[in-house]
Amino acid sequence: MRRAAAAGTLALTVLLSGCSVFQIRTEDKSAGPMRIGVQETAGPEPTGKPTEAGIPKGMTRTSVSFGSSCPVELSFAIGDEWRDSTGSTEQFHVFTHGENSAEADIILVNCTDEYGDSAQEVVDQKRRYNFSKQDSQVIAEQTGSLAAGEFWSYQGELGPTEIMALNKKPTYVFGVQTGYKINGRLVNISIEMRTLKTNTEVAEDFKKMLPTVTIDGEKVPAPSFR
């Protein structure tokens, strides 16, 4: 390979199947050897050590269906200690973990009709109103497009005054909100995982579970957790 007469910089973009997009820069300078730097520009760092099937150790994949009115399947990894609540309905599913019902860890999976103009509008509304109190905050988030809609995935903290906080105490929350189109209808498909801020072990499990969420087999990208 011939070296260019003048020192130059070559930028290449490589797309690896199933992986993130990387920018690779090579520098050819007169003084010193060629250097190659790799910078990740899309996709979160993997959390935990997934098995070959992409499911964290000690968990299995579970699927949730919402009935004929919302013919979409949402799946995610979950541990055996979680219970599918008997109060679940076709379009609203509740998984609980812990003995104290007031402070029990909870996962909510839902599909509801929306009446906005677009999938993006649904996502924008969820981003505005899910952390409405001053003592609540989004810690990390990612937005983007799905095959049939738009998504917002997030890690956050609900303050004690937030209505969805557990037992009016600081609560960690991880979730996905989507605006999704089904047969010309617009729906909100969501999954939300909540645990008290003191339950750091469960919060770490949520960091492993959220990246496994799929909607109709399509993986929903998770944020880069903090």
The C-alpha torsion from 66 through 121 and 222 to 39, rounded to 10°, is: 150
Amino acid residing at 92: F
Tokens representing residue 216 in the block: 């109709």
**Are 127 and 136 in contact, with CB atoms under 8 Å apart?**
no
**Cα distance between residue 223 and residue 20, in whole Å:** 13
pTM (two decimals):
0.75
Q: How many helices (H) and strands (E) does the chain have?
A: 2, 14
At residue 123, the pLDDT reads 96
Compute CA distances 223 → 42, 81, 104, 118, 158, whole Å.
10, 25, 25, 23, 17
- As a whole number of angstroms, the distance between CA 225 and CA 139 comes to 8
Collapsing DSSP states into helix, strand and coil, what is residue 212? helix
pLDDT in the model for residue 75: 97
Q: So what's the pLDDT on residue 86?
A: 57
How much is the pLDDT for 87? 62
pLDDT at residue 9, rounded to an integer: 40
Domain 59-219 carries which CATH code? 3.40.1000.10
pLDDT at 189: 97
pLDDT at site 210: 98
Residue spans of the domains in the chain: they are 8-40, 59-219
User: Can you read off the two tokens belonging to residue 211?
Assistant: 């990246």
Characterize 124-163 residue by residue with b for buried, 16 or more Cβ atoms within 10 angstroms of its Cβ, and e for exposed.
bebeeebbeeeebeeeeebbeebebbbbbbbbbbbbeebe
* pLDDT value of residue 157: 97
Under a CB-based contact definition with an 8 Å cutoff, are residues 154 and 172 in contact? no
Backbone angle region of 208, left / alpha / beta, with phi > 0 → left and psi within -120 to 50 → alpha: alpha
Question: What local confidence, expressed as pLDDT, does residue 102 receive?
Answer: 67
**Per-residue tens of pLDDT for the chain, all 226 residues:** 444 444 444 343 333 344 434 333 334 444 444 433 443 434 444 444 444 458 999 999 999 999 988 999 999 999 999 998 756 678 899 999 877 766 789 999 999 999 888 999 999 999 998 898 889 999 999 999 999 999 999 999 999 999 999 999 999 999 999 999 998 899 999 999 999 999 999 999 999 999 999 999 999 999 999 9
- What does the alpha-carbon distance between residue 106 and residue 84 come to, in Å, rounded to a whole number? 10
